[in-house]
Amino acid sequence: MAVRDSKYPDAGAVFSTRAEMAAWLKGVKAGEFDDLGSSGR
């Protein structure tokens, strides 16, 4: 799976397997990354 920033398409992409993406999404849903962002959006 490839993910890129649509505002900067020439900047490249980050590649991960389905298993890696599933683990990342599981962590997001569990709140593991809540302290990395701001709630001011």
Q: How confident is the model at residue 37 (pLDDT cuts 50, 70, 90)?
A: confident
Alpha-carbon Rg of the chain, whole angstroms? 13
Segment 9-26, tens digit of pLDDT: 899 999 999 999 999 999
Domain-embedded: residue 38: no
Q: How many CB atoms lie within 10 A of CB 27?
A: 11
Who's near 23: CB < 8 A, 6+ residues apart? none
Please report whether residue 25 resides in a domain: yes
Segment 24-38 mean pLDDT: 92
- Does some domain include residue 10? yes
Residue 41 lies in a domain: no
Tell me the residue range of the domain where 13 lies.
2-31
